[in-house]
Amino acid sequence: MNITIIGTGYVGLVTGACFSEMGSTVTCVDVDETKISNLKNGILPIYEPGLENLVIQNYKENHLTFTTNLGKAAEDSNLFFIAVGTPPGEDGSADLQYVLEVAKEIGQHINEYSVIVNKSTVPVGTADKVKKAIQIQLDNRGLTIEFDVVSNPEFLKEGAAVNDFLKPDRIVVGVNSDRAAKIMKRLYAPFSRNKDKLILMNVRDAEMTKYAANSMLATKISFMNEISNICEGLGVDVENVRKGIGSDSRIGYSFIYPGCGYGGSCFPKDVKALIRTSRDLGIEPELLNSVEKRNTFQKLVLPTKIKKRFGEDLSHKTFCVWGLSFKPGTDDMRDASSIVLIDELLKAGARINAYDPIAMDQAKKELPGEWFKDNKLQFSGNQYTAIEKADALILVTEWKAFRQPDFKQMSNKMNKKIIFDGRNQYDPEELTEYGFEYHGIGRE
């Protein structure tokens, strides 16, 4: 099948690479000329395990191409995926300007029956707006061309997106016509050979499913973080509680790990958008409000613990931060807990040495330049140089390299043997053997 994907960010690039891997001919379109030029040279705008090899190989085999010209791409395609950003507006609602701009341009170029697929995360009712935008352009051109707008939300985990796409647990497709449903079934057939993973529903149902899924996962995280704070007040080890409730098949172990808050491109934005949608309907989303409020509070738990231990004035204190990205397996810094932590510590006068296996280049681009003045914030070449003469280690992102570090080497390098474990990765008893003072989440 000939597919055109508009947007070469996280969703668009993974989608394009994986469809091309299954034999489809894919053209990825983006207005950013530098990004397109880099992609043609094998330089990706994001880090995602396994993605680079897919992109380079399929580009070499002409299964995957890149262009800034949507009109040219439309000449050979009648299946379009919209995969552009929907950043949150000031009121928390999803900003649809890029989605609707793409819809308008599609309407200016299609010349036969086409299926337009919303892959971007969009509010309920967006398909109707996309359809209207396309129809206006067709009317302006004096053409009568049939087309369908489909909702096909992505459920990709950053750090495992390629595997999630190639081996999905479900494929949600919202359609309002049998013709579009037939095309989508054919498109996804290679991904459902062992069993049918396609879940067909109407368009509005599919749009809502994406928001409900992410909000449910965010709710589990915030619930467990709230439990961790109660446990800490009661002198209870939350890790034992987690194991106890996770063994219940109705609850499960996924997304009940206490930590220092969730971030990324999905959960914060989607929870806010659903809150906004609910309020627009005159429904106050009490649970979602609490989920967001708890997450905001949770990002302050680590700096609060540190100030409790060292005092409000952190001048002349140096801290090592392990992990900058919002989760392991990605360089995504959006809404990362590390940003709040570093900001709070710098404002209290601290100096910080940080290390992340992947995200430091991205962090340099996104963090405020003033943070780096006078070496207040420095990035180290590896995790062990980062801890030299540190008054405490703060684990923020649970990269594999941090899971079983050399505690003996650390104890010799650090100024004070203190660890603030923002992801409960370490065994307090083991750390005691090396003389470390331990502070976890819900397990002081």
Contact 206, 171 (CB under 8 A): no
Helix (H, G, I), strand (E, B) or coil at 45: coil
Give the residue ranges of DSSP H helices in 118-168.
126-141, 161-166
List of residues 6+ apart from 369 with CB closer than 8 A: none
How many Å from the N-terminal Cα to the C-terminal Cα in the chain? 56
Query: What letter would DSSP give residue 93?
Result: -
For residue 320, indicate whether it is catalytic. no
Pairwise CA distance, residues 322 & 354, whole Å: 6
Q: Spot the catalytic one: 28, 260, 266, 320.
A: 266
Whole-angstrom Cα distance, residue 221 to residue 226? Answer: 9
**Alpha helix (H) residue ranges in 114-194:** 126-141, 161-166, 178-188
The DSSP code for 83 is: -
199: β partners: 172
Answer yes or no: are the C-beta atoms of 362 and 158 closer than 8 Å: no
Q: Are 209 and 153 in contact (CB under 8 A)?
A: yes
The whole-angstrom separation of Cα 222 and Cα 301 is: 13
The backbone torsions φ and ψ at residue 139, rounded to the nearest 5 degrees and listed phi first, read -65, -40
Q: Comparing C-alpha atoms, which of 138, 130, 24, 14 is closest to residue 76?
A: 24
Please give the Cα distance from 62 to 348 (Å, whole number).
54
d(CA 218, CA 203): 24
Calpha distance 143→153 (Å, rounded) = 30
* Distances 69 to 14, 31, 105, 428 between C-alpha atoms, Å: 20, 8, 11, 57
User: Which residue do the tokens 């990035």 mark?
Assistant: 379
Q: Which two tokens stand for residue 247?
A: 């063994």
Q: How far apart are CA 10 and CA 157, in angstroms?
A: 11
Asked if 333 and 326 count as a contact pair (C-beta separation under 8 A), the reply is yes
Are the beta carbons of 27 and 65 closer than 8 angstroms?
A: yes
- How many helices, marked H, and strands, marked E, lie in the chain? 18, 14
Positions marked active-site: 266
